[in-house]
Chains A and B, each alone.
Chain A
Amino acid sequence: MRHLKAHRKLGRTTEHRISLLRNLATSLINSREERIITTLPKAKELRPFVERVITCARRAQNLEGDDTAAQSVHLRRQAASFFHAGNRQQAVSTGTRSTQGRAPRTAGVAALKRLFDELGERYKDRPGGYTRIIKLGHRVGDNAELAIIELVDNPRERASVESQKKRAKSSGKKTAKASESKAAEGGRRGGRKADRTSEKEETTKARGKGEEKVESGEAKSKGASRSRKTESTAEEKETE
């Protein structure tokens, strides 16, 4: 039987699960870093869910024919069902629509806007595969496997690629001396620095604590491995 193989239930009822996926999709699209850290099963469930909305936004970019306006409205409405977009409940409960009690814009509405204004344009020519999942290992506490799910081709990524290119150009002479693999690593280092400045602290507290413990325990072995490494790192420092 292939029953129950299409999706994970994530230990939730249908409504709860849909709500969760909408929340995750909203968070992913609204997040400044264009990435969220969540558990691996949630990330894997979220991927097809958000990609479907992003495809809606992409289609809205490539519309043809004479009823494009109607089509784009339709796509937008279809996409809205992937977020907690409206706040109809509040309008109904207060009974007034235009007084100052008008419902504030929700995060879902903001996500929908960003999706159609920005992401549709960005993914215009990408036939699916708008997200990337990177596994992070297990969480301290419940040992759940964590993962990053991020939108590909995001500004941070583009910046690091660009700095890598610059680095390759500027250090052309030096890299000629070093072997090719080292040159590539030098470029990556440049990218890493750029990342650091822009990247906000993302490790959770618990994770940070765990790292500290491990680090103090392994300080000695690290020192040892460092001295082994010095030969290779010395050359890299030169290029920097």
Chain B
Amino acid sequence: MPNPKRRHSKARTRKRRAHDALRAPQTSLCPNCQEPRMSHRACPKCGFYKGREVIHVEQNT
């Protein structure tokens, strides 16, 4: 079985992972309810898309 020849330092691990960060998805504010919303999708808060309600979202606040 292949085995590591040398010790793998924390610095090596961390340097490799320096480029692994994930980005938060781009959002814009919903023109209807001002909540963040991904573009080209119905708003998950109010169910609006292109100025009309395309899906009814349960509101319990």
Contacts and interface: CB of A to CB of B under 8 A. Distances in A.
A195 B53 contact: yes
Nearest to A219: B61
Contacts of A136: 41-42, 44, 55
Interface string A207-226: 01001100100010010010
Interface of B: 32, 34-35, 38, 40-42, 44, 48-49, 51-58, 60-61
Contacts of A199: 53, 56
Interface string A130-172: 0000111100000000001000000000001000000000000
Contacts of B44: 136-137, 211
B52 A134 contact: no
Interface of A: 134-137, 148, 160, 184-185, 188, 191-192, 195-196, 199, 201-203, 208, 211-212, 215, 219, 222, 225, 228-229
Contact of A211 (B40, B48, B58): B58
B35 A134 contact: no
Contacts of B58: 201, 203, 208, 211
A219 B60 CA distance: 10
B55 A203 contact: yes
Nearest to A135: B41
Contact of B56 (A160, A196, A222, A229): A196
B36 to A, nearest CB: 10
A137 B49 contact: no
B29 to A, nearest CB: 9
B39 to A, nearest CB: 10
20 contacts: A135-B41, A135-B42, A137-B38, A137-B44, A184-B51, A185-B51, A191-B53, A192-B52, A195-B52, A195-B53, A196-B56, A199-B56, A201-B58, A203-B55, A203-B56, A203-B57, A211-B57, A215-B61, A219-B61, A225-B34
